[in-house]
Each structure stands twice: as C-alpha cells, then as structure tokens.
C-alpha cells in the first residue's frame, strides 16, 4: 500500500517562518535580559574613566537601536541555530527549510547584513542563506511536541578568537588554563570584551569545539552541573578578570561577562580544549514554540514579537 505523507498546512508553516524571522530580527536589535543585566552590573562597578565612557556608549547605543528598530551592531553574523526539536513537533518535516526561509526573510526585513559568502566561489549570496547556512545543530527531544530554538548571531570579530587544541594528558588542566588565557590576551582583546567565554573540554577537537559554542547558549551566571567544573569556571573567570582587559580591551576593572564550561568524558590519551567567545553584544536568544504555534521568548521575559 502506498504510504501517505501528510503535508502540513502551508499557512501554518508560513506562520512558523514569520515567528522565527521576527525573533531573529529582534535579536539583532535588543540584547537578551541576562546580557543587559550583566553589562549594567559591570558598568556600575567600573572605575576607569575610559571604560566608564565606553559602557555609557554601549547603553546609549542599545537605547537608540531599540528606538529606531535597527540592528544594534552592523555585524549581524552568520546565523547559527541550536534546534532542540520534539520528536512530535508537528512541523518537523518542514523545519529545516522553514528556518532557512526565516533567515532570508529577516535579512530583508530587519535588515541584516549580508554575511554568507560561498567558499571557493567567494560570492556573497546576499540572503544570509547558502551552503549549510544558517549553520544548524539538531537535537531531537523524545516525548516532546515543542521546539526550543537558540538563534545566535556570531559576528566575525568574536568568531576570530575561536580555536582549539588537543593536548597530551601530561599537560593537564594547567595546559587547558594556559590555552584559554593565551587566547584572551591575544585574539580576545580585539573581540569586543567584556566577553562571554565558552570552553569545551573532551576527547577530540570537534567535540570540544561544539561544546565551546554550546556553552555560549547558556544563561550568563549559570554553572556547570559538575561542582568541580563549576569551580573551574569560577577560577578561570577570576583569573581572566584579574588581567583587567576592560571593555574593548582598553583596560578596566574586569574582562568577561562569564566563563561557561561544557564537558564530556575523554579518552585517557588525550584532552581536547576549544574556546569560543561571545562579544559584549551577545545576540543570542531562545524561543519556545508550542505545537499550536504559540510561543514564549525565554531570554526576554514578557516580550512579544
């Protein structure tokens, strides 16, 4: 017997596209609650006059961007998404193409900067969509009919410090710490501090790299579940803060908005570490979309699209 594949209601798919598109545009204009709160906290305790001036400029920029409804930073990134989709989410079949279309729509409407350049052909597609762009990580959630979506605008500046290294266990976590701090005082300086630092620790370089990015999706101030790793987060944060990079790397009281570690078990012969950083204008947001297409903006309390 011929198997019938039921296609979803087109207008509902369009509604899904519209929600993700509007959400993406919003992220380009308004920082999530946790980032806004952390920046205010850092600004309040700053004593260096240059650093204070820079924090005031940031605050003013975010106000004007929200008023004028414009992307607060011109580099709206190559869009990445972490898609935690319920196995029973009714639009799972259409989701991949819907997310692509949402990015293209947001690019026209926000408008976002055209940041998708096809490699080798070296042509800008002009739509922010292209080969594997937006870049999407898929996570299938059993026994769920909802979609939890993280949308992240990783700009070029904060993507540049991204690096990883597979160490020999003899180098230990001391080697991990040195690797992270070296990135901070070299590339980190130019990546728009105060940074959110994501560290992935595991076996191979690909898993470490993935976890270092995943760490940037966590709310600022959250801790690793493992108490030892949580202490490592605090210790590394204190160490980077003691360098006093300040906003824009022009010196100040602190250096970072937070340090987040994500980890996996490792092969006894290797320990891989990777670092990804988010700039002060950390434009990532999380939205929860229900099967009836009602939604909640988890990173912007009470906000609607």
Quote the least distance from Cβ 44 to other proteins, whole Å: 18
* Contact range with other proteins by CB under 8 A, out of 16-24, 61-69, 89-97, 293-301: 61-69
Whether 22 contacts 112, CB under 8 Å: no
22 or 113: CB nearest other proteins: 113
Smallest CA-to-CA distance from 197 within 158, 171, 231 is with 158
DSSP count for the chain of H helices, then E strands: 8, 11
Judged by CB under 8 A, the chain residues 169 through 208 that form the site for other proteins are 169, 172-174, 176-178, 181-182, 184-185, 189-192
Helix (H, G, I), strand (E, B) or coil at 79: strand
Quote the least distance from Cβ 140 to other proteins, whole Å: 32
**Residue 114 half-sphere exposure, CB side, CA atoms within 13 Å?**
9
For other proteins, the binding residue among 202, 247, 278, 285 (CB under 8 A) is 247
Decide if residue 224 touches other proteins (CB under 8 A). no
State residue 87 phi and psi, 5-degree precision: -60, -20
In 147-224, which residue ranges form alpha helices assigned H by DSSP?
156-159, 172-185, 205-214
Percentage helix, strand, coil for the chain under 3-state DSSP, each rounded to 5: 40, 20, 35
User: How far from 112 is each of 24, 108, 153, 157, CA to CA, in Å?
Assistant: 9, 7, 10, 16
Quote the least distance from Cβ 113 to other proteins, whole Å: 5
Judged by CB under 8 A, the chain residues 63 through 122 that form the site for other proteins are 64-65, 68, 70-76, 111-115, 117
For other proteins, the binding residue among 43, 95, 279, 297 (CB under 8 A) is 279
- Binding residues for other proteins, per CB under 8 A? 50, 53-54, 57-58, 60-61, 64-65, 68, 70-76, 111-115, 117, 123-124, 126, 156-157, 160, 169, 172-174, 176-178, 181-182, 184-185, 189-192, 228, 231-232, 235-236, 239-240, 242-245, 247-251, 279-281
């Amino acid at each position: 017997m011929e198997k019938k594949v039921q296609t979803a209601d087109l207008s509902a798919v369009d509604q899904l596209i519209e929600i993700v598109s509007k959400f993406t545009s919003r992220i380009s204009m308004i920082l999530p609650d946790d980032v806004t709160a952390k920046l205010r906290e850092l600004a309040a305790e700053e004593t260096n006059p240059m650093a204070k001036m820079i924090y005031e400029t940031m605050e003013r920029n975010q106000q004007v961007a929200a008023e004028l409804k414009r992307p607060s930073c011109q580099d709206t990134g190559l869009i990445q998404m972490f898609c935690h989709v319920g196995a029973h989410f009714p639009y799972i079949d259409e989701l991949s193409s819907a997310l692509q279309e949402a990015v293209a729509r947001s690019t026209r409407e926000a408008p976002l900067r055209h940041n998708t350049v096809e490699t080798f052909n070296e042509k800008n597609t002009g739509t922010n969509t292209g080969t594997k762009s937006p870049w999407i990580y898929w996570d299938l959630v059993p026994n769920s009919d909802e979609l939890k979506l993280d949308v992240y605008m990783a700009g070029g500046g904060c993507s540049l410090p991204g690096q990883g290294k597979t160490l020999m266990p003899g180098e230990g976590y001391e080697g991990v710490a040195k690797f992270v701090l070296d990135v901070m005082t070299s590339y980190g300086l130019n990546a728009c501090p105060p940074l959110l630092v994501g560290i992935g620790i595991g076996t191979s370089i690909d898993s470490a790299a993935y976890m270092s990015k995943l760490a940037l999706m966590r709310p600022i101030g959250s801790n690793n579940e493992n108490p030892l790793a949580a202490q490592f987060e605090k210790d590394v944060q204190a160490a980077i803060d003691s360098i006093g990079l300040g906003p824009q790397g022009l010196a100040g009281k602190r250096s970072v908005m937070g340090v987040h570690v994500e980890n996996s078990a490792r092969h006894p012969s290797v320990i891989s570490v990777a670092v990804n950083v988010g700039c002060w204008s950390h434009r990532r947001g999380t939205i929860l979309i229900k099967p009836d297409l009602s939604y909640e903006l988890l990173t912007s309390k009470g906000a609607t699209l």
